Chains A and B, each alone.
Chain A
Amino acid sequence: MTTAPRLELRSLTRRFGGLVAVSQVSFAMRPGEIFGLIGPNGAGKTTLFNLIAGVHRPSAGDVLHDGETVTGLSSEAIARRGIGRTFQAAHTFKAQTVRENLRLAALMHHSHGPAAHWRDRHHSKTERDQRCRDVAAFVGLGGLLDQIGGSLAYGQQKMLGVAMALMTSPQLLLMDEPAAGLNSTEKRTMGELISRMRDERGIDILLVEHDMRLLMSLSDRILVINQGKSIALGTPQEVQADAAVIEAYLGSDHELT
């Protein structure tokens, strides 16, 4: 008996006018995996990410979640299926407290529309408040519940973004450059959080990242794309040794270790 892959891409393609940003990318994520996505600047990582997250519709190809086609679903529909996402730039409700941010995240998930809000009207406030505290503690923001989102340090804001995604109880978390804008200490904390999310909460993670070292250390498998096409798929060791990958990065500032 085989279970469907958590996430599967089949020949996913996206064209913008005459430009092909993503070309026939295919892969399947295994359960319990941290899957990395990497490529040189302008390789199409962000576009690919946005296709999976429902921000753009693909021009061709399919995205499947747990065996069901989710191609072209809106970002909110994707979110309601248990796929969370974080943003490259820290997106939080900056005028609200951390506690309120987390509460709103749960609210937006359960009361996603007027009808849903009506159905959800009897939810336990104490239970949800407890969840907020639990999630905040899990990401390390336990002591900052009453701080205004906008007053947090940038790294903490990104943690809050992760916490908000966690409030929606995702089975799969899509992370768009979680380390972007973070200093080395914050990167380490983020890396630990990502591992813990997989280990302790059983969340599968798709990770787009520029920071090679972080990506290599976290990912079980990595897909390398260049100019919209996938050029290598394998474990970090396999990918680092891959000739095509090395050639793609030749002349760039990145080192592969």
Chain B
Amino acid sequence: MRWLALFAIAALAVLPWVIGGRYVLHMSIMIAIMVTLALGMNLMLQIGQLSMAHSAFMGIGAYASALLTMKLGMSVLLTLPLSALLSAMTAALLGPVFLRIKGVYFVLLTFAFGQIVNLVFQEWTDLFGGNSGLHGIPKLSAFGHRLTDPAGIYSVALALALASFALVRAILRSDIGAMLRSLEADEPLSRSLGANAMAWRLAVFVLTAAMAGAAGSLYAHVIGFLSPAAFGFGLSVDLVVMNVIGGAASAWGPLLGALLIVPLPELLRGAKEYQLLSYGLVLIVFLLFFRDGLVGMVTALARRRAARASSPDAPTAPARADAEKRAA
């Protein structure tokens, strides 16, 4: 099953090169960027925190990378990791304060933070260009060689997305993932055994902020133009939706979610009013009836098929099954 999924992903990843064309490649680049962000959101959800701050971390990475290349003439090769680092450092600074807050209040807190960052981008027009945007951001270039070919840009975006996917998947399947889930399941117990809850939460917060910063930097050089609207509440909502529809229990969920949600506005371009409506209705349906998302549906189907194949009573049900209780 797993090999089938990996093969499918490999095929999907290669598809844009095969089909070619600016439009398909641009869409694929955006999907890759969103996959990175959605994976970060997923990791936060695994530790029980719904963060509305990561759109701000993306924005910080984007504007930082744009300004470093425009004002200081640095190469994107340098600014991308630097932007990721800047977002990570912001998260490291705020984390000890923010992560003490849990549940609903954390959502509201990160929401407020995201709004502040967004408003600063809007207000400080000298530096960030305000609502009319920051224009003329140089495209990707490495060692003096400008990357203008969409296929080439896609390979960079794909590399980022694949690296993020591999990383998040490895974390979730490792002892770290088991600890994060158990920390979330019973924090007093975990701490009484010695687990440093804050250290782990901070690590996740900083890592996911770095991912968002890197994605933001890439975004800036792909689009060539930045406006604060791209890094607001709407983005955070989209990332949540990707995880709900895809499924929040594993790294596959946000991958699937991004694959579906990002092309949606384009696919439904004809009936734009109905696009938003179907978005909302699908989300409602999933929240009510398919809490574990599409990945959850697939896993349940696979499990049912396996159960029918072997004997009906299984006293040792897979322990991972209840990691689904995380998130929504």
Contacts and interface: CB of A to CB of B under 8 A. Distances in A.
Contact of B196 (A53, A76, A94, A167): A76
A95 B128 CA distance: 49
B196 A112 contact: yes
Contacts of B197: 76
A165 B193 contact: yes
Contacts of B325: 95
B207 to A, nearest CB: 9
B194 A108 contact: yes
Interface stretch (A36-44, A78-86, A178-186, A244-252): A78-86
Contact of B316 (A94, A107, A146): A146
B190 interface: yes
A113 interface: yes
Chain A: interface size category: 35 or more
B192 A84 contact: yes
Contact of A107 (B175, B188, B191): B175
Contact of B199 (A53, A96, A114, A147): A114
A54 to B, nearest CB: 8
B179 interface: yes
B195 A96 contact: no
Contacts of A104: 178-179, 182, 193
Given A87-B188, A95-B322, A148-B316, A164 B196 contact: no
A6 interface: no
B209 to A, nearest CB: 15
A74 B319 contact: no
B210 to A, nearest CB: 14
A164 B190 CA distance: 10
A112 B321 CA distance: 25
The bracket for how many chain B residues form the interface is 20 to 34
A91 B191 contact: no
A114 B200 contact: yes
B208 to A, nearest CB: 14
A219 to B, nearest CB: 22
B185 interface: yes
Contact of B192 (A75, A94, A147): A75
A89 B197 CA distance: 21
B316 A93 contact: no
Contacts of A76: 191-192, 194-197
A91 B189 CA distance: 6
A107 B319 contact: no
Interface in B182-228: 182, 185-186, 188-197, 199-200, 203
Nearest to A110: B194
Contacts of A26: none
Nearest to A164: B193
Q: Which 4 A-B pairs have the closest CB atoms?
A: A95-B322, A113-B199, A79-B194, A108-B195
Given A93-B185, A108-B190, 8 more contacts: A80-B194, A84-B192, A84-B193, A91-B189, A93-B182, A107-B175, A146-B315, A168-B194
Interface of A: 53, 55, 74-76, 79-80, 84-85, 87, 91-97, 100, 104-105, 107-109, 111-117, 146-148, 164-165, 167-168
23 contacts: A76-B192, A76-B195, A91-B189, A93-B182, A93-B186, A94-B185, A95-B322, A96-B182, A96-B319, A100-B319, A104-B182, A105-B193, A107-B175, A108-B179, A108-B182, A108-B190, A109-B195, A111-B179, A146-B315, A147-B315, A148-B316, A165-B193, A167-B193
